[in-house]
Amino acid sequence: MKLGSKIRKYRLLNDMSQKELGMMVGFSEATADSRMRKYESDAMAPKAEIRTKIAEALNIDMEAISDIEVSSFADIMYVLFELEEEYGLKIEKKDGKTAIVFDDSDKDLEPLISFLTAWKDKKDSITDDSDEEAQHDYDVWKSHFVSDLKDYYGKKEKEITDNYKKAVSAYKGPYSETSSDVVILLRKMVESGMTLSTRTKHISHGILANGFTFKANELLNPPTEEAKKLFAQFLAELKHWEKLGAKTYTDVQMPDGSFSITYYVEISSFAVIVNQINNFLRHYVSMEDQSEYAIDAFENSFTTELEMYNINLKEEIKNSQR
- Alpha-carbon distance of 208 to 2, in angstroms, equals 39
pLDDT band of 68, cuts 50, 70, 90: confident
Q: Tell me, yes or no, whether 151 lies in a domain.
A: no
pLDDT confidence of residue 75: 93
Q: What is the pLDDT of residues 76-133, one digit of tens each?
A: 999 999 999 999 999 999 999 999 999 999 988 999 999 999 999 999 999 888 889 9
Q: What CATH number does the domain containing 58 carry?
A: 1.10.260.40
Q: For residues 113 and 137, state if they share a domain.
A: yes
Residue 34 is part of which domain span?
3-65
Residues 130 and 61 in one domain: no
- One domain, residues 170 and 306: yes
128, 37: one domain: no
Confidence bin at 322 (pLDDT 50/70/90): low
pLDDT at 100: 94
Q: What is the pLDDT of residues 158-173, one digit of tens each?
A: 999 999 999 999 999 8
| Within-domain flag for 176 | yes
Q: Are residues 77 and 53 in the same domain?
A: no
pLDDT at position 141 over 90:
yes
Segment 250-279 shows an average pLDDT of 93
- Which of 102, 92, 7 lies closest to 57 in space, CA to CA? 7
Percent pLDDT > 90 in the chain is: 87
Q: Residue 246: left if φ>0, alpha if ψ -120 to 50, beta else—which one?
A: beta
Residue 128: the pLDDT is 86
| Inside any domain, residue 236 | yes
pLDDT of residue 232: 97
130 in a domain, yes or no? yes
- Do residues 206 and 244 both lie within one domain? yes
Contacts of 144 (CB under 8 A, 6+ apart): 59, 60, 61, 64
* Structural domains in the chain (count): 3
Does the residue 95 lie in any domain?
Answer: no
Do 290 and 308 share a structural domain?
yes
Q: Residue 206 has what pLDDT?
A: 67
Confirm whether 249 is domain-assigned: yes
* One domain, residues 56 and 177: no
For the chain, the average pLDDT equals 93
Q: Per the domain annotation, does 149 fall within a domain?
A: no
Q: Do 201 and 256 have their domain in common?
A: yes
Residues 51 and 77 both lie in one domain: no
Same domain flag for 236 and 208 = yes
Each residue of 5-48: pLDDT tens digit? Answer: 999 999 999 999 999 999 999 999 999 999 999 999 999 999 99
- Quickly state the pLDDT bin for 202 (edges 50, 70, 90): confident
Q: What's the pLDDT tens digit per position in 203-215?
A: 776 678 999 999 9
In the predicted structure, residue 67 carries a pLDDT above the cut 90: no
185 and 300 in a single domain? The answer is yes
